Amino acid sequence: MATPQPGQTTQQPGGPPGDSYFTESRKGEINELRNLLRGFATERDPMRKRDIIKKVLAYMTLGIDVSRLFTEMMLAIETRDLVIKKMIYLYLTNYARTHPELAQMCTNTLTKDCANDDPMVRGLALRALCGLNLPQMVEYISEPLRRSLSDGHAYVRKTAVMGVLKLYHLDRETFESCGFVDILYDMLRDPDASVVVNCVICLNEVMQKSPAGGMAINRAIMLHLLNRIHEFNEFAQVQILELVPRYIPANEEEGYQIMNLLDPVLSTSGSGAVMATVHAFLSLADQVVGDDEHKLQMKRQIVERVKPSLVTQISSGSSEMMYTLLKHVETLAEACPGVFDDEYRQFYVRYNEPTHVKYLKLAVLPRLANPDTAPDIVSELAECVHDSNVKMSRLAVRSMARIACGGTGGPGAAEAIARRLLELLDLNVEHVSSEAASALTLIVRKHPTLKPMVAPPLTRSLKYITEPSGRASVLYLLGDCGDMVPAAPYALEKLIDSYDSLEDAGVKLALLTTTMKLFLQQNRAPEVQHMLGRLLAKACDDVSSQDLHDRALQYYRLLRNADLHTLQTTIPQLKANYIPEHVPFAEEDDSARQKLLVEEFNTLSVLYGKPSVHFIAPEYQVKYVKMPAEHPLSPGAPSAQQLETSVLHQEQPVAASAPAYADVDLLGFGDGPLASQTPSVTQPVSSLSLNPSVNLSGDDYQSRWEGISDNDAHVSAIPMGMSSITTDSVEAALASVHVRTIASGELPTEFKFFLYAQESTSGMLFLIQGNIEKQSAEPLMIATIKVTGDMASSELINQLISTMTTALQ
């Protein structure tokens, strides 16, 4: 017997050549397969039969048209081999849409198999029948579906539930006439967990466009599903847990009851279920607790409870999972400062981690700094500064600066970090020295008492730092610490003389501002006067930057017409710009964004670091109505269609203290403790009428805005339909509906508006801050609305948003 040579394949007796079915088609092979299929019934070898069907599917997968074998494949379906049946069903569903006339040939066979004695055959046939996706097949699908929903085998029932969803997308009129929604609600009591979760998925998708944004939920449904949470797999648990944020408990006791039911999920190994549970806990804390202080305390307790699970998941997952969990931990650490501080070592960078995880850990570590942990964290960051990865080195320096500026490191932390940064300033590594200079700029703005320490090496650093950002930072420090650096004017003079060789506009602006600051300092004017004149002359003739040209011209005119004291006190760039330690920098104050991220926890918003209104188009935004929903099958309750219509006409959600539960047993579990409560009656809200003659001063606006907590603000995305967006056009459009503008401005990346309006009847003031991104493909105004006096109903705010939306089209 000959030995096969390397690269050759052997042929198995009775099987196809080689070890792959995906070989090139040779002329006549379709006809050969047809001959094999015609002798299929007489073939005795079951493996040979499978190989023939596999070869047909292999050709189909390669894009070869094997629809000519449809008749022969239909004849081969009469077999007891489940594997062959499954492959033939796959063949049928693949060619059903492109060859509908052929698909109709298999209707009787599939309908017959739906009544087979074997439940696997029934399920596979039903899945294939619903997967044909042909409108003309609707009349053949409805009855097998209805019969399969009450089948004795769980596999058939769960397949039938997904078949109902396919029928919904195929023919909604038939779906509604068959009353499948009511049947699906009844099937929530099914003993098999996989059937229940399929019902939840189906109901959520079928009722997606209803005002509730998904299936209707009430106390009986919620407690029934949560009591069975241990029966579901991880995917199913996530589907059930996503219902919790849409449900409003009747009182604190019920909220704690739900939390107790969810608590065991935190000990599971699935990160998806753990994160969904955290989101459920946070939403329950918002719903069952009233005042902000108690709410924050409750959230801290929740984060303390889930912390061990999150830390374990981070240390044991893949790099992708680690990154996702770290982003959520970053959000929680910002919302509840101090909770993760004792676990700071778990967030140290490890050598074998991917770079994106290392970067994120460096961003998280400053949030875990306190007087006890700050020294260790700063030492760890100082080691990362010397990493060969340039970006990682830069991030480590920035993280050290955040600890110094945040005030979380305790007394003396800022000085210790400043000393480390001064050492890095003299380090012969360009990007490290540049970042150290930028970090020292921030620290001096927060801690001006450190200027004597920072001042000495500045003139030396200006010689060898060449990065534009670093050089601009050193120039800023020279202007701030100029009275402590005798040689400062002479260091600037060298740059002024080589002005034409400077390319970066930021460095030129910093040089101009610093020279002006030195000129205005006591007893420094004679030293700086001549070099300032040369600099102003060059900057006024510089056309590379309009901002630089205008700034220089402004300084020149002011120097000619104003005294030095007036100049020093009126120009913002020339004033001492120090910020109290407990006050964050304006660019870092994102409390409103943080609040939205917590509300959208366990979504892509946390990974992107911005609310969903910034990356999901308005027509795809899903707004859930958080209210207890009437079960469509309750005695005396309206039908599913009537329920949807009634919700459309509700003016506002029912308050949490008076849940709308009918006095019925919704799922047959006996009377609950709240079953006898009667629904609260919602009073209609009057239509919005705005005062056309309202007037508000800037100081009054600011004091009123600051007097209202950010937690009481309402944030909404208003689509812009205007062809040309300018501050004037937006102000004119809003003025036409009596929304007044107190101030507006155009920034490099966005338009900003400060607006207000007054409700005529009650005198209630609406204070609005709007931002419009310039580069957005579909412009949106992100409006933050605060209401003075008694809080307005959500309906009045929605009417105001609707009025503004109409005006901006």
Cα(478)–Cα(531) distance, integer angstroms: 16
Q: Is 685 exposed, middle or buried (0-12, 13-18, 19+ CB in 10 A)?
A: middle
**Do 568 and 595 lie in a common domain?**
no
Specify which residues 716 forms β-bridges with: 783
Specify which residues 757 forms β-bridges with: 766
Q: Letter for the amino acid at 297? A: Q
Mean pLDDT split into 10-residue runs, the chain, 809 residues: 45 46 57 78 79 86 82 79 85 80 77 86 87 81 87 90 90 86 90 92 87 82 91 91 89 87 87 90 81 82 89 85 93 90 92 93 94 94 94 95 87 92 90 94 91 92 92 92 88 91 92 90 84 93 91 87 70 71 74 85 91 83 52 37 35 34 35 35 58 83 80 78 83 89 81 88 85 76 80 72 85
What does the block give as tokens for 24?
A: 């090139």
Residue 764 inside a domain? The answer is yes
CATH number of domain containing 159:
1.25.10.10
Q: How many domains does the chain have?
A: 4
Cα(400)–Cα(386) distance, integer angstroms: 14
What does the block give as tokens for 96?
A: 């059903």
Domain boundary among 576, 606, 639: 576
Residue 339 inside a domain? The answer is no
- Rounded to 10 degrees, the C-alpha dihedral 503/506/511/516 comes to 140
**Do 206 and 150 lie in a common domain?**
yes
**Do 512 and 604 lie in a common domain?**
no
**Do 524 and 604 lie in a common domain?**
no
CA atoms within 13 A on the CB side of 572: 1
Cα(388)–Cα(302) distance, integer angstroms: 40
**Do 405 and 501 lie in a common domain?**
yes
Angle at 343 between CA 334 and CA 588, to 5 degrees: 20
Closest C-alpha to 556, from 580, 575, 534: 534
Tally of CB atoms within 10 A around 386: 12
Residue 457 inside a domain? The answer is yes
Cα(349)–Cα(171) distance, integer angstroms: 55
Q: Provide the pLDDT for residue 786.
A: 87
Q: Provide the pLDDT for residue 650.
A: 34
**Do 482 and 543 lie in a common domain?**
yes
**Do 112 and 189 lie in a common domain?**
yes
Residue 498 inside a domain? The answer is yes
Residue 243 inside a domain? The answer is no
- Mapping DSSP onto H, E and C, the string for 95-136 reads HHCCCHHHHHHHHHHHHHHCCCCCHHHHHHHHHHHHHCCCHH
**Do 507 and 616 lie in a common domain?**
no
Order of all β-strands in the sheet with 750-758: 714-719, 780-787, 765-773, 750-758, 740-746
**Do 509 and 602 lie in a common domain?**
no
Write 218-221 long-range contacts (CB < 8 A, 24+): 218/628, 218/629, 218/630, 218/631, 218/661, 218/666, 219/250, 219/254, 219/628, 219/659, 219/661, 219/672, 219/674, 220/631, 220/665, 220/666, 220/667, 220/669, 220/672, 221/188, 221/631, 221/666, 221/667
Residue 63 inside a domain? The answer is no
**Do 612 and 721 lie in a common domain?**
no
Q: Are 494 and 502 in contact (CB under 8 A)?
A: no
- Mapping DSSP onto H, E and C, the string for 401-470 reads HHHHHHCCCCCCHHHHHHHHHHHHHCCCCHHHHHHHHHHHHHHHHHCHHHHHHHCCCHHHHHHHCCCHHH
Residue 306 inside a domain? The answer is no
Q: Is 588 exposed, middle or buried (0-12, 13-18, 19+ CB in 10 A)?
A: exposed
Residue 358 inside a domain? The answer is no
**Do 111 and 179 lie in a common domain?**
yes
pTM for the model stands at 0.68
Q: Are strands 714-719 and 740-746 parallel, antiparallel or unpaired?
A: unpaired
Domain boundary among 511, 541, 576: 576
**Buried residues in 184-213 as b, exposed as e (16+ CB within 10 A):** bbebbebeebbbbbbbbbbbbebbeebbbb
Domain range enclosing 615: 590-620
CA atoms within 13 A on the CB side of 697: 3
Q: Provide the pLDDT for residue 434.
A: 94
Q: Provide the pLDDT for residue 290.
A: 66
Closest C-alpha to 22, from 67, 63, 50: 63
**Do 608 and 746 lie in a common domain?**
no
CATH number of domain containing 803:
3.30.310.10
Domain boundary among 212, 243, 264: 212
Q: Provide the pLDDT for residue 572.
A: 65
Q: Letter for the amino acid at 783? A: A
Specify which residues 754 forms β-bridges with: 743, 769
- Strand ranges in 235-308 using DSSP code E only, listed in sequence order: none
